[in-house]
Structure 1
Amino acid sequence: MQHETVRLLTAYHPATTAETTDKERTLALLDQSDPWSRDMPVHLTASALIVHPPTRRVLLRWHARMQAWLQVGGHGDPGERDPLDVVLREAREETGLDDVTPWPDSAVRQVAVLPVPASATEPAHEHADLRFVLATATPEAARPEKPTAELRWLTLPEAFDLVTEPNLTEFLTRVGELFDQER
């Protein structure tokens, strides 16, 4: 049952040529019996930038494996098929925020196919990441899920200074445009 993923991807209009290719690769995954399966060399993930619109801040999480400040998110649990359900669960688990909600709506805001380096437990692979924006009204309630997964609330200029991934820089730019539209 991947109709929700198909609907979200069909409604999404990529902003760049590279993103168009990533969207096509992601759509092709939906022909697989379980595009979320970690056993596949390319599989679906869902992530989000969590924002606090009144202060125009974003929440970044330190990812030790990637050695980078990134958005929250990750893999679907067995049986999960709706990317929005996946990202909401992941956001709650990784931040302790129980009030996260899609903002300003539940649309996909970026599609990126990204390399993931090998670890002691899995080979190198790729994530076909569907990205959303979530908002919280209680930023002070954010708590890291573990000591090595630090969280930081940042203004957009601070986030741009900290982020090293070009795809995340683009995502932050899109969030800035959303902030501007909501004024």
Structure 2
Amino acid sequence: MSLHDDAVLVLKEYGSQEELRQLYLEHLDAHPDGMYKPCGAGHLTSSALVIDPSRARVLLTLHRKLGMWLQMGGHCEPGDATVEAAALREATEESGIAGLSLLPGGPVRLDRHPIPAPCHWHLDVQYAAIAPADAVAAISEESLDLRWFAYEEVAGVADTSVVRLLESTLARL
């Protein structure tokens, strides 16, 4: 199964955000290359909100290019077998934490946001991951900083997209 086919299957099984879910499916139907960055109409991305083992904090990255506190995530790559694997790879690369495990049940939510030209949209498939007990975070090249935040601190540092991802994650824990 291709990454494109996996994304279609994941989205067909996703049971929330019907209008946005349908927009993602229409995008993939219209754009066979819609999984990857070169697709000018937009492309799917995959991310994961990393939760500490005590389930009291989340790890956010201060994105180097955007200067915003965000969850770990980014572009799908040809070597990614699934959208879930892309989220786990991105979260591992950007957090420096080996042994992350995604929460079961598929994506936590979807988030569509505009990005600068030449592309137009990121269609983000968002997951949540639990860090192992011995987790030690390490700043990647894509980050200016990496920090654990208590749940109640997130709204003060991150945008509404991250806040909604946290709320949806907490509903699943």
Contact 2:96 2:137 in 1 (8 A): yes
Corresponding residue number in structure 1 for 2:27: 29
- Which consecutive residues of structure 2, in runs of 5 or more, have no partner in the other structure? none
1:12 aligns with 2:14: yes
Once the two structures are superposed, what CA deviation does each residue of 1:110-163 show, in whole Å capped at 9, x if it has no partner?
A: 111111134xxxx35210100000111146411011384311111100112111
Once the two structures are superposed, what CA deviation does each residue of 1:46-94 show, in whole Å capped at 9, x if it has no partner?
A: 0010112414211111113222111001001124351111111111111
C-alpha distance 127-68 of structure 1, shift in aligned 2 (>3 A): same
- The normalised TM-score by structure 2 is 0.87
- The normalised TM-score by structure 1 is 0.83
1:173 aligns with 2:173: no
Q: Secondary structure, in 3 states, of the residue corresponding to 2:54?
A: helix
Compute the displacement of 1:106 (Å): 4.5
**Cα distance in structure 1, aligned partners of 2:148 and 2:116:** 27
Contact 1:97 1:138 in 2 (8 A): no
Q: Secondary structure, in 3 states, of the residue corresponding to 1:78?
A: coil
- Which consecutive residues of structure 1, in runs of 5 or more, have no partner in the other structure? none
Matched pairs, number = 169
- Alignment RMSD, CA only? 1.9
**Cα distance in structure 2, aligned partners of 1:30 and 1:139:** 39
Identity %: 28
Displaced runs of 4 or more, over 6 A: none
